[in-house]
Amino acid sequence: MDFILYAVPFFFILIAVELLADRFRGMRNYRVADTVNSLSAGVLSTTFGLLTKGVGLVTYAVAVEHLAVFQLPAEAWWVWVLAFIAYDFCYYWLHRFGHERNILWAAHSVHHQSEDYNLSTALRQTSTGFLLSWIFYLPLAVLGVPLLVFVSVGALNLLYQFWVHTRHIPKLGWYEWLFVTPSNHRVHHAQNPLYLDRNYGGVFILWDRLFGTFQPEDDAEPVIFGVTTPLASWNPLWANLQFYAQLWSDARHAERWRDKLRIWFMPTGWRPDDVARRYPQAKQNLLDFRKFEVPLAWPRQLYVVLQFAVYVALGSYLMQAGARLPVAALLLGAGVMGFGLFVLGTALENRPWALRLELLRLALNLPAFALAGWSGLGPVTALGWVGLLAYSLLSLIGLYVSRFAPGDARGLEAPAQPQAATEQQQAAEHP
């Protein structure tokens, strides 16, 4: 059973509930652009995952067939309990190394880039984690955990982690000692020196207590969310590539071949001395922390949200039908999703060329729809063409309205500007 697919509607319902809680309590844990960016990263992750999940599944299946020391029965309840606990133990080490080694942080950093903390942050997942994450779960294959059990407990582990991404739930007493909670996971998403690189457990915080990586949330130290080298972008593609690009640039500029190779596997933040000297990096000043923001009039934000809803629908269709779609269809779907969400990111950033890209996106929807039938993505019917043309016309009208919105007269041509309130202020106002 695909637990994640069935949970998606509940994710959005709970996000809506949290938004109502924000309004009721006078808090502002959501911003339109940040939320769209987080959800876009999640949509990309699930879409590209349809093409890449075979890497982990195939390697696990081969390993459990040839390396298993035991043959554990999938129908035994104790196997599921053992697998659930063992999976979280493996996840702890994957998660910990994901913060402690450059190449793994390049994939995992996507999840930490948001400077807000809410339930949409939980859905902000990497599209490149498949490259190395499978290595950390091979011990389960050696133990003989069946593939079905492995996939199921992995999904349950991920589902558990959704609810801990909120600021509305305080500390939970004795529960804090054994399990991951919103309080100790807020610590994990902090960039404060006190909190940095702590609390790696997915379900059980016990691993952190055992291995010395636990840090409780301190009322005297309000959490500042985000990463020390900020993303400063609303683009989900760049979110996935930012740290890889930084590592590649440092490797290219390093003078010694040894440094060009080892930078990928060194502790997070390590840079060759000659590169650090010639190309210093500015870090966040937490005493004057300001969230990344690009001022946009509400019609533009509404336009992007409505367009994003179309991609959520397409992504849901791909998740539901992915198992029976041919590779060509998945490639087409991933291409449409990737380019479309990239374009919406440029609109949220007010890039000077965003209008031209948006017009190109709308134009490319026509050949993409025509290719849907050829690739096996879906039927191409006369009614479908009528719907696509109606959507395109409505989009052009919405684009015109948002382009000349009051308070945003330059529309898509206005430059991006950083502007934000501090997390310290919000924490003081809403303890």
pLDDT digits (tens, 9 = 90+) for 366-375: 999 999 999 9
User: How many residues belong to the chain?
Assistant: 431
Whole-Å CA distances, 200 to 181, 205, 267, 304, 404? 12, 8, 16, 34, 47
Q: Are residues 30 and 165 in the same domain?
A: yes
Q: Are residues 37 and 173 in the same domain?
A: yes
Radius of gyration of the chain (CA): 23
Q: What is the pLDDT of residues 237-262, one digit of tens each?
A: 999 999 999 999 999 999 999 999 99
Instruction: Select from 157, 151, 105 the least CA-distant residue to 131.
Output: 105
Supply the pLDDT for residue 53: 87
Q: For the chain, what is the HEC assignment?
A: CCHHHHHHHHHHHHHHHHHHHHHHHCCCCCCHHHHHHHHHHHHHHHHHHHHHHHHHHHHHHHHHHHCCCCCCCCCCHHHHHHHHHHHHHHHHHHHHHHHHEHHHHHHHHHHHCCCCCCHHHHCCCCCCHHHCHHHHHHHHHHHCCCHHHHHHHHHHHHHHCCCCCCCCCCCCCCHHHHECCHHHHHHHCECCCCCCCCCCCCCECHHHHHHCCCCCCCCCCCCCECCCCCCCCCCHHHHHHHHHHHHHHHHHHCCCHHHHHHCCCCECCCCCHHHHHHCCCCCCCHHHCCCCCCCCCHHHHHHHHHHHHHHHHHHHHHHHHHHHCCHHHHHHHHHHHHHHHHHHHHHHCCCCCHHHHHHHHHHHHHHHHHHHHHHCCCCCCHHHHHHHHHHHHHHHHHHHHHHCCCCCCCHHHCCCCCCCCCHHHHHHHCC
Supply the pLDDT for residue 416: 43
Residue 428 lies in a domain: no
Q: 116 lies in which domain range? A: 3-211
Residue 350 lies in a domain: yes
Domain count, the chain: 2
Residue 62 lies in a domain: yes
Domain boundary (165, 194, 211) is at: 211
- φ, ψ of residue 105 to 5 degrees: the values are -65, -30
Instruction: Select from 152, 168, 177 the least CA-distant residue to 6.
Output: 152
Instruction: In whole angstroms, give the CA distance from residue 300 to residue 303.
Output: 5
Instruction: In whole angstroms, give the CA distance from residue 170 to residue 217.
Output: 10
The whole-angstrom distance between residue 371's C-alpha and the CA centroid of its chain comes to: 29
Supply the pLDDT for residue 402: 84
Instruction: In whole angstroms, give the CA distance from residue 30 to residue 121.
Output: 10
Cα torsion for 273, 276, 277, 278, to the nearest 10°?
120
Q: Are residues 49 and 157 in the same domain?
A: yes
Instruction: In whole angstroms, give the CA distance from residue 181 to residue 357.
Output: 42
Residue 225 lies in a domain: no
Residue 247 lies in a domain: no
Query: Is 18 within 8 Å of 117 (Cβ atoms)?
Result: no
Instruction: Select from 84, 40, 83, 18 the least CA-distant residue to 338.
Output: 40
Query: Is 169 within 8 Å of 180 (Cβ atoms)?
Result: no
Supply the pLDDT for residue 284: 76
Instruction: In whole angstroms, give the CA distance from residue 60 to residue 64.
Output: 6
Low-confidence ranges of the chain (pLDDT < 70): 1-2, 404-431
Supply the pLDDT for residue 283: 77
Residue 381 lies in a domain: yes
**Which pairs count as long-range contacts for 191-194, CB under 8 Å and 24+ apart, including other chains?**
191/224, 191/225, 191/226, 191/227, 191/228, 191/284, 191/286, 192/221, 192/223, 192/224, 192/286, 194/218, 194/221
Residue 399 lies in a domain: yes
179 forms beta bridges with 204
Q: Are residues 206 and 344 in the same domain?
A: no
Domain boundary (211, 234, 249) is at: 211
The two three-digit tokens of residue 214, written as one number: 């636990």
Query: Is 131 within 8 Å of 62 (Cβ atoms)?
Result: no
Instruction: Select from 74, 95, 212 the least CA-distant residue to 140.
Output: 74
Residue 78 lies in a domain: yes
Residue whose entry in the numeric block shows the structure tokens 């509404």 = 302
Q: Are residues 34 and 142 in the same domain?
A: yes
Instruction: In whole angstroms, give the CA distance from residue 407 to residue 78.
Output: 62
Query: Is 105 within 8 Å of 86 (Cβ atoms)?
Result: no
Domain boundary (211, 243, 259) is at: 211
